[in-house]
Structure 1
Amino acid sequence: MAMVSRRAIQNPGKGVAVKQKPSIRKTIEQTIIIFDWDDTLCPSSWIRANKKVLSFFKPAPNVEKYQKPLRELQAAVEVLLKMAMKLGTVVIVTNAMDPWVETSCRNFLPSLLPLVSTLPVIYARSIFEQQGVDVARSPSRGSSPLSRLAMPGMYAANGQNRLGNINAKIAAQRVEETSPQKWKEVAFQQEIKDFYSRYQHQSWKNVISIGDSVFERDAVRRVVLQRPTPQKKCRTKTLKLFDDPEIEELVAQVKVVYDVINVMVQYDGDLDIEIDEEDLKLDGPLMDKLRD
Structure 2
Amino acid sequence: MMFIQDFLGNDLGVADPGFQDPENAVIIFDWDDTLLPTTYILNTVIPSLPEEDRAGVIPESSPHQATLAAHAHLVGFLVRAARKVARVAIVSNSLSPWVEASSARYLPGLDLEGLLQELDVPIYYARRHLPNISVTYKVNKWDVHLDRSSGGRIGVDIIPEFDGSLAVARIEDGGLMDAWNKQHPDQEVQPGDRFQEVNGSNQHLAAECRKMQPLRITVYRAVPDRDPYVEAKRIDMVACLEKFYGRHPEWRQNVLSIGDACTEQQAIKEVLHQEANASERSTNARLPLCKTVNLIDTPTLEQLSNELRILLVWLSHMVQYHKDFDLFMDQLDDLEAELFKA
How high is the TM-score relative to the length of structure 1? 0.71
| Greater per-residue helix proportion | 1
Distance 1:291 1:83, change over 3 A: closer
Query: Quick one: which amino acid aligns to residue 76 of structure 2?
Result: E
> Per-residue CA shift, 1:122-148, capped at 9, x if unaligned?
00111454xx337xxxx9xxxx9799x
State the match for 2:79 in structure 1: 81
State the match for 2:328 in structure 1: 274
Q: Is the 8 A contact 1:30 1:205 kept in 2?
A: yes
Distance 1:256 1:72, change over 3 A: same
Partner SS for 2:22: helix
> Per-residue CA shift, 1:79-128, capped at 9, x if unaligned?
11101111111000000111110110110114132213442110011145
In 2, Cα distance between equivalents of 1:124 and 1:56: 26
State the match for 1:282 in structure 2: none
State the match for 1:27 in structure 2: 21
- Per the TM alignment, residue 193 of structure 1 is displaced from its structure 2 partner at its CA by 2.8
2:242 matches 1:193? yes
State the match for 1:116 in structure 2: 116
2:42 matches 1:48? yes
**Structure 2 residue corresponding to 1:225, chosen from 250, 270, 273:** 273
- Per the TM alignment, residue 205 of structure 1 is displaced from its structure 2 partner at its CA by 1.7
Distance 1:26 1:251, change over 3 A: closer
Distance 1:262 1:287, change over 3 A: farther
Q: Is the 8 A contact 1:263 1:287 kept in 2?
A: no
In 2, Cα distance between equivalents of 1:146 and 1:44: 33
State the match for 1:125 in structure 2: 127
- Per the TM alignment, residue 289 of structure 1 is displaced from its structure 2 partner at its CA by 4.9
Query: Quick one: which amino acid aligns to residue 183 of structure 1?
Result: A
2:65 matches 1:67? yes
Structure 2: runs of 5 or more not aligned: 1-17, 142-160, 166-195, 203-219, 281-285
Q: Is the 8 A contact 1:80 1:254 kept in 2?
A: yes
Partner SS for 1:34: strand
Distance 1:56 1:37, change over 3 A: farther
State the match for 1:104 in structure 2: 102
Distance 1:273 1:252, change over 3 A: same
Structure with the larger RCO, 1 or 2 (CA within 8 Å, 6+ apart)? 1
Aligned residues: 239
Query: Quick one: which amino acid aligns to residue 274 of structure 2?
Result: Q
In 2, Cα distance between equivalents of 1:49 and 1:82: 29
In 1, Cα distance between equivalents of 2:300 and 2:338: 24
RMSD (CA atoms): 3.3
- Per the TM alignment, residue 259 of structure 1 is displaced from its structure 2 partner at its CA by 0.8
Query: Quick one: which amino acid aligns to residue 312 of structure 2?
Result: Y
In 2, Cα distance between equivalents of 1:53 and 1:80: 28
Query: Quick one: which amino acid aligns to residue 255 of structure 2?
Result: V
Query: Quick one: which amino acid aligns to residue 122 of structure 1?
Result: Y
Distance 1:63 1:121, change over 3 A: same
> Per-residue CA shift, 1:179-212, capped at 9, x if unaligned?
x22211121122113322113x424420110011
Structure 1: runs of 5 or more not aligned: 1-23, 161-167, 280-285
**Structure 2 residue corresponding to 1:207, chosen from 239, 246, 255:** 255
Distance 1:122 1:241, change over 3 A: same
Distance 1:220 1:226, change over 3 A: same
In 1, Cα distance between equivalents of 2:227 and 2:259: 21
Q: Is the 8 A contact 2:137 2:224 kept in 1?
A: no
Distance 1:46 1:203, change over 3 A: same
